[in-house]
Structure formats: C-alpha cells, structure tokens
A and B are shown apart, each in its own frame.
Chain A
Amino acid sequence: MSDATVAWLIHYQSRLALHTLRASEAGHPLLLLHGLGERSPSALPAPFEAWPGSVYGLDFTGHGRSDLAPGGGYTAEILMGDADVAVAHLGSVTVCGRGLGAYVALMLAGGRARSVRGAILCDGPGLAGGGPQPSSPRIIHPDPAAVGTPDAFALAELSSDVRPPDYAMSYVRQAMHLGPLERPITVCAKHRPEWLEAVVATTDTEEASLTEALDYYASARPTEESDAFGRHA
C-alpha cells in the first residue's frame, strides 16, 4: 500500500515526482535519493521511522514516475540539479542517498552547501559509476525496445560516468567550507569505490551506521547557532 502523495516538480523540460513519505511539522525534512535503476520508496522504510521530521523521496529524471529524457544525455551533475529542484521546494534538508543517489547527495552537499544539513552516503546500485578514469571511448546503444522507467539511457550512462576521487573531493571541500554543520558528510556505505574511499579518508568525514547518522543530523544545529555541539555518540 502507499500513503505517499506526490508533488510534481519541474526541472527544465522534465517533470519530477517528489513523494511525501511522511509529513511532519517537527524539525527539518529528510530527502531520500534512490540508487541507479531504483525509484523512491512508496512508503516510509523502517530505518527512517525514527526521523522526527518530514521524509520525502525523489524520483530522478528517467526513474520511477519522473519523466524520461528521449535520446539520453544523463549525467550525475544533472541529477544534482534534480535534487536541487527538490531543495528549492523543501528548503533546508538532510539528504540520504543510496548508490548513485549517494554520489548525488555528496554533490548536492557541496553544490548547495548552505541548504544541506548533512549528507548520508549509503550502499546501493550505481555507487561506483564508471570508475575513476575514463574507459576507452565508446558509443552506447541502449535497448531501443526498452519502454518506461528506468530509462535504458540512464542505466547505461549513469553506470559508466567517470568519478575521479579529486572531483568528489572538490564537493567535500565545498561542503566543509560552506555547509552549516561541522560534519557535513557521513559515510554508511561498506562498499568503497575510489571516489568514496577518498571521501572517507578526509578527517572531517565520519563513518557511522545509518541510525547514528540520522540521529546526529536530526539534532545537529548549524555551527553559527551553536559552536558547542560535539560529536554525537
């Protein structure tokens, strides 16, 4: 069953589905970003029940109930733009991503640093992308008979995009320098492709369980308001 209600957001020519998994007046919202080929859950998953505020799930372009992009052209940067359109709608959020969504969550935490109250990076499909170096140049031919979501172009393009560690680190730096929290990024993923290994290797990026991470970001206050909040147990 699904209690989710859907808000339709516009990113350029694409209509994106933002699912309300729980509405609450308390705290700030949590935004869930799914992995490659996945879609937003239609009901609140158990691990997020303890979150005090609203919980939303976004379907990326080419996924779930969001629009396809005929002829493809998918990039992780465009998906960051998808997530940012949700931030424009929701205001300041904590973001939690799986796989590809974890990579996008990191980018969002750097790209829209002042509006992201923590990014939680979890295991999921599409975490590694195409690796740290470009593969041999190639022209992909997704299944022309494929219909609906997930878009065959999205599956092909977002599993082969290059994710260099120093590129990922430039987003970490933005998040650290400009974000409102002392610990802007928490890594829950066990799988550590090179970009994520580099993120973990920075001293300011914490490793924690999902429960710990959610607990921390639910109560973390922006550094301007409280210099004193310390490491959450």
Chain B
Amino acid sequence: MPSPLLLETERRFAEYPGAESPMRQRKVSSNGVGIAVSEWGDETAPPVLLAHGGFDFAATFSVFAPILARAGMRVVAFDQRGHGDSDHAKLYSWGADLRDTLAVLDSVSHAPIPIIGHSKGGSLLTQFAQAYPHRVSHLINIDGMPSRRRHPDVSNHERSKLLDKELVAWLDHRRRSAELVRKPGELEDLARRRGRMNPRLEHAWLCYLVTRGARRDTDGWRWKIDPSMRMGGFGPWSPNWELQRLPGLTPPLLGILAVIPEQLGWETRERDLRPYLPRGTEIISFEKSGHFVHIEFPQEVARSVLDFLS
C-alpha cells in the first residue's frame, strides 16, 4: 500500500517507470492471520497466483504483474505472513506459509490455475503443487529451483552450517525479540540498506519499494517486515529432499534461472537440475540477469510465462 504520509520531497519516489499500484487490495484470513492480497487486471479474467521471495512483498511485482494483467490475466499476489501488509504472526514456518498460500488460492479459484513463485516463493509453490496438484495448472519457478549450492533466503539452510555462533545468535535474537524494532531511517537510507542485498537493482526502484514495503513512523521510515524475522537460520532441511521430489511433479513446469551469481541467489544450474526434471520441463536461463529476474527483465520473463501458458 502506498504510504499516505509521503513528504513533498519524497513524492517522486512513489513512482517508477512501468510500476502500477494494485487495482484491488484485500485481506484473507488464514486461521486468524490476515494475509494481504493485491490484484492487477480484470477480476473476471483467468487468474494467476504470484508468490514473492523471502524478505520481499507483493509490491516487488509492481512492474511484472501489470504486464501479465495487460495480456489478459487477473494477477493475484500476496504478502507472506510477517511480510508487507500481512499480519505479523506469533510463529512462522514453511507449513504455515503453505496454509496461507492455500487460503489465498481458495479466495481466488477452486479450479486449477497457473502459479508463479520467485526464490523462496518458487520453492514454496513447488511444494504447494506437490501437496495440491489438483489446484495447479502450470508451475513457473523463477530462480527458486532447488540447488545443492546455497539457499540463503529460506530459514532452514544446510545443516552443515549449524554452528555454535549461529545457534547462540539465533537464541539471543529470540530472547530479545519482544523488544526488537526495525531500524528507522530516511527513505533513501532504507533503499541503500536494501541495495546491499540487492546490488543489481536500481536505487530508484529500491526507493519505490520503500514507499510500498516500509511505513513512516514519527522517527523515520521502517520496513514493515516483522522484526522477529531474520535472514539465515537453521533447521532440518536438505535441498536433496526437494530435488528428489521434482521428477514426480504433476503440472507442467517452467523453470527460470538467473545465471549471474549474487548474494541472495541460489546459483542453481540447468545441468544440476537436468536429472531431476519431469519430462517436458522448460528451463530458460537468463544469462544477463541476477536473482531478481522478473525485476531485471520483466518484459522478457512475462513473455516467457505467456508463451508457456499458451
């Protein structure tokens, strides 16, 4: 949601070339947790569901989604719990994200529809398609295909990284969590901070995201994301589990891979995936893109998606 409290000097940041505010916004209750839903396009058009990556929010689709909408789709994106305008929950887990996804999908269609996820959202929707194959007509995974290399924006990363420092840091963080607040700053400061994790994205785009994903408090701008959430973490998880389930996937799969490595990327390569891909899977590698392919190349990704769906 655009902040109603933009200063005169900040108004220019609320616009970005090609970016459009959602046409409809609403909340869906997932067992009492309010999940914010944004929609672009005609409400009666064929729907498609979008899931963002970890620490992102639906407004990161503000350029990509309108392209699909103009091509005749009802584009439905949601903020994962704790992210964007969704409620901050007491607890977060992969299973909870799956339930929230289903709650949103139930509010859109009970017939199978295409679903598109980026990064953690791609991984989440892949698992959704395995749990509920009857609800998914096509799966499009944007740089969220399992990789043996890295998985940084999923809270459960490789077990070998379970180190004392990490455990103690996490437990210390939980002890402090009731008092934690996100660090306030000027609008452009937040954009610069995010830029450290998104070095390939334009400052103007990141400023635009601040006007959507942050709010102005009396002491400055703060990202809306739940301060109890943190990058990294640990838990019982292995990328092999995801890889081994991949061959059994039901809906047709389009995998979009970013070739240029970056901090938040997973560095998944087609040759590593190939043995696990269901027959007919399409893989498109974007040689000139980092992890945020739909932000760096929105037109091209949308074209690939539309070709795949037709």
**A binding-site residues for B, Cβ under 8 Å:** 10-14, 61, 67, 69-75, 77-78, 80-81, 84-85, 88, 110-113, 133-134, 136-141, 144, 153, 157, 161-164, 166-167, 170-171, 174, 177-178
Instruction: Give chain A residues whose Cβ lies under 8 Å from the Cβ of B241.
Output: 133-134
Closest A residue, CB atoms, query B32: A70
Known contacts: A12-B174, A71-B31, A72-B31. The answer to whether A162 contacts B236 by CB under 8 A is yes
Q: A157, B89: Cβ atoms under 8 Å?
A: no
- The size of the chain B interface, using a CB distance under 8 A, is 42
Binds A, one of B42-50, B58-66, B93-101, B193-201: B93-101
B181 within 8 A of A: no
A71-B89, A72-B95, A139-B102 are known contacts; what are 20 more A-B pairs with Cβ within 8 Å? A61-B91, A69-B89, A70-B89, A72-B93, A73-B93, A75-B91, A75-B235, A78-B91, A81-B174, A84-B175, A85-B175, A111-B168, A111-B171, A136-B130, A137-B131, A139-B98, A139-B99, A139-B131, A167-B235, A174-B167
Within the complex, what minimum Cβ distance (angstroms) separates A17 from chain B?
16
Instruction: Give chain A residues whose Cβ lies under 8 Å from the Cβ of B234.
Output: 77
Q: Which 7 residue pairs are nearest across A and B when measured between Cβ atoms?
A: A73-B91, A71-B33, A73-B96, A81-B174, A70-B32, A69-B90, A12-B177
Closest A residue, CB atoms, query B173: A81
Alpha-carbon gap, A163 to B162, bound state (A): 15
Alpha-carbon gap, A112 to B172, bound state (A): 10
Alpha-carbon gap, A118 to B119, bound state (A): 40
Can you spell out 5 A-B residue pairs with CB atoms less than 8 angstroms apart? A75-B91, A75-B235, A88-B175, A111-B170, A141-B99
Q: B99, A140: Cβ atoms under 8 Å?
A: yes
Alpha-carbon gap, A134 to B175, bound state (A): 29
B211 within 8 A of A: no
Q: B167, A12: Cβ atoms under 8 Å?
A: no
Alpha-carbon gap, A170 to B162, bound state (A): 7
Q: In chain B between 213 and 268, which residues have their CB closer than 8 angstroms to a CB of chain A? A: 228, 233-238, 241, 245
B137 within 8 A of A: no
B304 within 8 A of A: no
Alpha-carbon gap, A17 to B236, bound state (A): 28
Instruction: Give chain B residues whose Cβ lies under 8 Å from the Cβ of A74.
Output: 91, 93
**B binding-site residues for A, Cβ under 8 Å:** 30-33, 81, 88-93, 95-96, 98-100, 102, 127-128, 130-132, 159, 162, 164, 167-168, 170-171, 174-175, 177-178, 228, 233-238, 241, 245
Within the complex, what minimum Cβ distance (angstroms) separates A136 from chain B?
7
Known contacts: A12-B90, A77-B235, A85-B174. The answer to whether A157 contacts B95 by CB under 8 A is yes
Instruction: Give chain A residues whose Cβ lies under 8 Å from the Cβ of B88.
Output: 13
Alpha-carbon gap, A70 to B167, bound state (A): 26
Known contacts: A137-B131, A161-B236. The answer to whether A167 contacts B159 by CB under 8 A is yes
Closest B residue, CB atoms, query A73: B91
Closest B residue, CB atoms, query A11: B174
Within the complex, what minimum Cβ distance (angstroms) separates A92 from chain B?
15
Within the complex, what minimum Cβ distance (angstroms) separates A106 from chain B?
13
Instruction: Give chain A residues whose Cβ lies under 8 Å from the Cβ of B130.
Output: 136-137
Instruction: Give chain B residues whose Cβ lies under 8 Å from the Cβ of A77.
Output: 170, 233-235
Within the complex, what minimum Cβ distance (angstroms) separates A25 from chain B?
26
Instruction: Give chain A residues whose Cβ lies under 8 Å from the Cβ of B30.
Output: 71
Q: B33, A70: Cβ atoms under 8 Å?
A: yes
Q: B159, A170: Cβ atoms under 8 Å?
A: yes
Q: A80, B91: Cβ atoms under 8 Å?
A: no
Closest B residue, CB atoms, query A163: B236
Known contacts: A11-B174, A11-B177, A137-B127. The answer to whether A166 contacts B159 by CB under 8 A is yes
Alpha-carbon gap, A171 to B175, bound state (A): 19
Alpha-carbon gap, A67 to B178, bound state (A): 14
Contact of B174 among A73, A84, A144, A167 (CB under 8 A): A84
Instruction: Give chain A residues whose Cβ lies under 8 Å from the Cβ of B99.
Output: 71-72, 139-141
Closest B residue, CB atoms, query A84: B171
Alpha-carbon gap, A163 to B89, bound state (A): 24
Within the complex, what minimum Cβ distance (angstroms) separates A23 from chain B?
23
Q: Among the interface residues A73, A80, A111, A170, which one has the most CB atoms of the partner chain B within 10 A?
A: A73
Instruction: Give chain A residues whose Cβ lies under 8 Å from the Cβ of B91.
Output: 61, 69, 71-75, 78
Within the complex, what minimum Cβ distance (angstroms) separates B150 from chain A?
19
Within the complex, what minimum Cβ distance (angstroms) separates B182 from chain A?
15
Closest B residue, CB atoms, query A70: B32
Within the complex, what minimum Cβ distance (angstroms) separates A113 from chain B?
7
Alpha-carbon gap, A112 to B96, bound state (A): 27
